[in-house]
Amino acid sequence: MAVTVTGVPEAQAAIDGLVDDAKHMGDVFRMVAQAGEDGARARSPTATGRLSGSIAGASDDRQATLAVGVAYWPYQEFGTRHLKARRYMAAGIRAMRKVAGKEIRKKLGDGYRRRAKTARARAKG
């Protein structure tokens, strides 16, 4: 019985390129940080606007973060025995996860398909 495997060089070239693509994810992480900021602000309490105004998303080429700049944020987020929890940061994190999953899959998938197609063309010609 003989087994022939085709497409190995193309797959290897595409996989090798994923590392390069992953190094340039800054635009995706900016979108993720913005989604988190928007999601958290939309659900934050707005009595004075100070809490909502202090919510900030930040990113670089490797990560996206969501931060709050007021000391009382955990009381609003998790509640106390006198104050009901308002899960605004959880909403921001859910928004970040949703955008991250979709956009990272899209960016890396597009790069993989593009590199595999180029490798197939090189193999044929």
Q: Give the integer Cα–Cα distance in Å for 70 and 52.
A: 9
Tokens encoding 17: 């390129």
Reported in sequence order, the residue ranges of the chain that DSSP labels E, i.e. its strands, are 55-59, 64-68
| Residue segments in the chain with a per-residue pLDDT below the cut of 50 | none
Helix axes 26-43, 88-124, angle to 10 degrees: 160
Q: Give the integer Cα–Cα distance in Å for 8 and 16.
A: 12
pLDDT for res 57: 96
| pTM of the predicted model as reported, rounded to 2 decimal places | 0.75
Q: Give the integer Cα–Cα distance in Å for 59 and 33.
A: 6
Q: Give the integer Cα–Cα distance in Å for 33 and 51.
A: 17
pLDDT for res 3: 62
Q: Is 80 helix (H, G, I), strand (E, B) or coil?
A: coil
